[in-house]
Chain A
Amino acid sequence: MNMFASAGIVLATMVAVYVLIRVIRLSTELAMFGAAVGGALVAGFGFPSRHIAEGAATYLDINLIFVTATLFMNLLKESGGVAFVVRSILRRFHHNRALLLVLLTVLLLVPGALTGAGSVTVLVTGALVAVVLNAMGIPKHRAAALIFINAGLSAAAPPVSLWAMMTAAGVNMPYVGFFWPLMLPCLAGGLFTSFYLGWKGENANVMKALEELPVPPAGMSWWRVLLPFVVFGGFVFMGRQWPFSTPIVGLPLMFAAAAVISFLVSPVRLQVFRIARETVDQLLPLLATLTCAGILVEVMTLTGARGLLSLAVVTLPIWVVYASLFLVLPASEAVLMWGAAPVIGVPLVLLFNNRGLDPIIALAGMSIIWPLGDALPPTAIIGRLTVDVVGHKGTYGQFLRACLVPALFIIVVGTLMVVYSKKLGFLTGL
């Protein structure tokens, strides 16, 4: 049997096992794991325990960043810091709808940008922002769409963009030069979304919103909120300013240090072990996704399934690739979540590189399109989470329809970034 036939059979088996496990309503993570084991068995590798363990460790560093950054954000939320910021913004800017929308957008972009996870944005700031949006007269399905799209963009925003990081790692490309190519479209997309979905409505009913928002503990102040960020920024600054005399601590420890500061300066005593336990509970599905994506990718690489998929993508006419990005990227995200980056992103970047495009800009363009898939079945984890957090009681379709125009805007921006990546190369600063 030639390599094409054998890899084709392996790939078909993987898809079949994945679908089967999803049909019996087990989780996406188990479906990915099952697909990996099924593929290895059919390819004649038996139960490849070494590769399963190795694949599971592929994204260990990213998982550590996830845990420590989310713990930091959760400590900040529990200390009343997030409520303090939301209330302060509302009190100060409720007369100016435009400025309020800008500040809420920034507030939504920060947690995901730091952690790489849109779900963290939804959980940490989503509920509080939803209260403000409600007070601004924005219907709940539109508020949910506003938070969801911004949460997705926050995950794609720098410094931690998992799609870009995972794809870059897969093609031996440095994760360098991505800051502006990711930041600009995320800001543009976020602001467009917020203004499109949030501009129409009544003037903010500040009293009503302040009543609904949690009251921060006495003593909470701007310095208590900002100090942990200053510490985190200080670590980053020292590492960049004096790289040869600053010990290497790594991003997870930087976030852990920010978490410690957040705990120490909290005006209320925080139950750190409870918060840590809840953080891990909250993150478990995401950690499992990354772990199982690593296993799936390793087994696909072992069996040739990844090579077949890569080859299929890199040999497509380039216009077909451009024209199908809007479908392929969100659909792959809906099925594989972050696993889409190494499986689909890697061959696409190789193709773009071969065609003389700028791989950094092209990957940044793709990275803003991917998170749109988080609202689509079969997974739709972040879409459903947002709807729950906002308290939208209507249909899921209503929420999806509200997402449509901002999603189209992001797709157009992302695709244009890919097509014109060469001309936008200056954004990398390299």
Chain B
Amino acid sequence: MSGRLLAQKFVVISLGIALLATSGASFYKSRRLKEPVVLGPGVTTVRPLSTWFAPLRGTANDCNVYFLDGRTPGATMLVLGGSHPEEPAGRLVTWILAENAIVQKGRLIVVLSTNRSATTVTRLGGAYPPDFSIPTDFGSRTFRMGDRFTNPLDQWPDPEVYFHYPSGQQLAYVDIRNVNRVWPGRANGTLTEQTAYALMEMIKREKVDIELDLHEAELQYPVISTIVTHQRGQDMATLVSMTLTDSEFKIGTEFSPRTLHGLSHREIGDFSPAVSLLAETPEPFLDATRGITSREQLLTGRDEFVVKAGQHGLLFEKIDEKGWPIAVRVGRHTSTLLQIAETWGEDHPDKLLVISGVPRYKEVIANGVGHYLHDPAKAAGRVVYE
């Protein structure tokens, strides 16, 4: 081998090692970034998900489950954030609940990282930022960005074709790592299937009455700005959307297709007594025609390209130069959640769910999301990590 070739190889290998080191450090940091949760006055217990399914113990998906027990008995509502961590509004809402909510009647169960493994990876080819920060009254709080799918480091390889359990419906192979395609889960399945199984066990054993899965969607996706409901929740969801559209913002209702399997709004309702609902807000960051992929775009939802796509009639939701700021998206979810609790109470006066301390749409927009996140430094003994 000539000296020149040797030198070329040395330079290329050195550059490769430098690339590995710098990118590796970034991946290591974001996978292990600790997200503090300041336990609010309403949190009565925090238990690991493996409490309901021991094989999850020690895995990436043995997430925390936050219990907020009311002063008097009533309905139990489960709120799932982080089914798809790349949709941050849902996770931030669950943070607000854990740090602020007080339950007067009934019980709230909150999961901040439903697919915790998916919070530790970003989409290959998606150019996502590794994390994002929310400005608060005391500084800022940083969160892992996450992906839609379980981290391949925790579950790999994918099958040639994915068959949903128990329906046998054929789905895309990659969806075996999508927690919102594996409900009701499988005890001896993959990590993602076991996660859904553990949550189903909890839903049944804790006698959950209402389950709400929080999501966001690209504007090119037809299921957007809506509540998707199992048939047992149709009346309630319709009333919630009518009330919200009349008083706060426009939101629709979609009925969960009976033959589309694996989704929380279908399977939780089918396999447990709980009424299952799923809420969607607009997230321009997920649109394929988006411009620069950045933290700013993620949090402001402002994007000239997506606006242009809208002018050509290619979108299912409106967008203008104001974008879809994170406060608007979080506020839509908090109001939806509170309205569901209220509407449930109207139908079940003997089994109420009364929640306080959670801001509604206009309050979140006025004060910002960060206003409802508390300083971990000043909450010694009441901080847990996601």
Q: Which residues on A are within 8 Å of B, measured CB to CB?
A: 2-4, 6-7, 43, 49-55, 57-58, 61, 159, 168-176, 236, 239-240, 243-244, 248-254, 294, 297-299, 301-304, 307-308, 310-311, 314-315, 342, 346-347, 350, 354
Contact = CB atoms under 8 A, between A and B. Distances in A.
Given A3-B292, A254-B160, A315-B308, A176 B171 contact: yes
Contact of B161 (A176, A311, A346): A176
Given A3-B291, A244-B165, A58 B124 contact: yes
Contacts of B303: 3, 307
20 contacts: A2-B304, A4-B305, A6-B292, A49-B22, A51-B127, A53-B20, A54-B122, A169-B125, A171-B288, A174-B174, A243-B159, A253-B157, A294-B125, A298-B125, A302-B127, A302-B292, A307-B288, A307-B289, A308-B291, A350-B289
Contact of B292 (A176, A243, A304): A304
| Chain A interface, DSSP helix/strand/loop, else mixed | helix
Given A50-B23, A57-B124, 6 more contacts: A3-B291, A50-B26, A53-B27, A170-B125, A172-B148, A244-B186
B195 interface: no
A272 to B, nearest CB: 23
A308 B309 CA distance: 11
A295 B113 CA distance: 29
A314 B174 contact: no
Given A3-B304, A58-B125, A254-B160, A174 B171 contact: yes
B303 to A, nearest CB: 7
A53 B291 contact: no
- Identify the 10 closest CB pairs spanning chains A and B, nearest first: A174-B172, A250-B157, A53-B23, A302-B127, A243-B163, A304-B291, A301-B127, A3-B304, A58-B125, A49-B22
Given A50-B26, A61-B157, A302-B292, A55 B125 contact: yes
A344 to B, nearest CB: 13
B283 to A, nearest CB: 13
A249 B165 contact: no
B87 to A, nearest CB: 13
B371 interface: no
B157 A49 contact: no
A112 B227 CA distance: 45
B103 to A, nearest CB: 37
A248 B159 contact: yes
A170 B126 CA distance: 9
B190 interface: yes
Contacts of B171: 174, 176
A36 to B, nearest CB: 11
Interface string B9-48: 0000000001110111011000000000000000000000
B23 A52 contact: yes
Contacts of A302: 127, 292-293
A315 B291 contact: no
Contacts of A173: 172
A315 B31 CA distance: 38
A21 to B, nearest CB: 15
A56 to B, nearest CB: 9
B314 interface: yes
A251 B125 contact: no
B138 interface: no
A229 B305 CA distance: 48
A354 B314 contact: yes
Nearest to B304: A3
Contacts of A61: 157-158
Contacts of A354: 220, 314
A50 B292 contact: no
B288 A347 contact: yes
Interface in B121-136: 122, 124-127, 130
Contacts of B140: none
A303 B292 contact: yes
B163 A350 contact: no
A174 B172 CA distance: 4
B181 to A, nearest CB: 10
Interface residues of B, number: 49
B271 interface: no
Contacts of A307: 288-292, 303, 305
B160 A7 contact: no
Contacts of B157: 61, 248-253
A240 B127 contact: no
A52 B19 contact: yes
A7 B186 contact: no
Contacts of A54: 23, 122, 124-125, 127
Nearest to B173: A175
Nearest to A166: B125
B124 A294 contact: yes
B158 A311 contact: no
B209 interface: no
Nearest to A51: B127
B175 interface: yes
B309 to A, nearest CB: 6
B312 interface: yes
A170 B314 contact: no
Nearest to A175: B172
Contacts of B289: 307, 310-311, 314, 347, 350
A337 B180 CA distance: 34
Contacts of B173: 174-175
Contacts of B288: 170-171, 307, 310, 346-347, 350
Contacts of B3: none
B168 interface: yes
B356 interface: no
Contacts of A303: 292
Given A176-B172, A304-B291, A248 B158 contact: yes
B142 interface: no
Contacts of B314: 314-315, 350, 354
A301 B126 contact: yes
B158 A314 contact: no
A248 B191 CA distance: 12
B300 to A, nearest CB: 13
Contacts of B186: 244
A7 to B, nearest CB: 6
Interface in B107-156: 122, 124-127, 130, 148, 156
A342 B158 contact: no
A299 B292 CA distance: 10
B127 A299 contact: yes
B170 interface: yes
Nearest to A10: B292
A282 to B, nearest CB: 21
Contacts of A55: 124-125, 127
A298 B19 CA distance: 16
A10 to B, nearest CB: 9
A304 B305 contact: yes
A177 to B, nearest CB: 9
B152 to A, nearest CB: 9
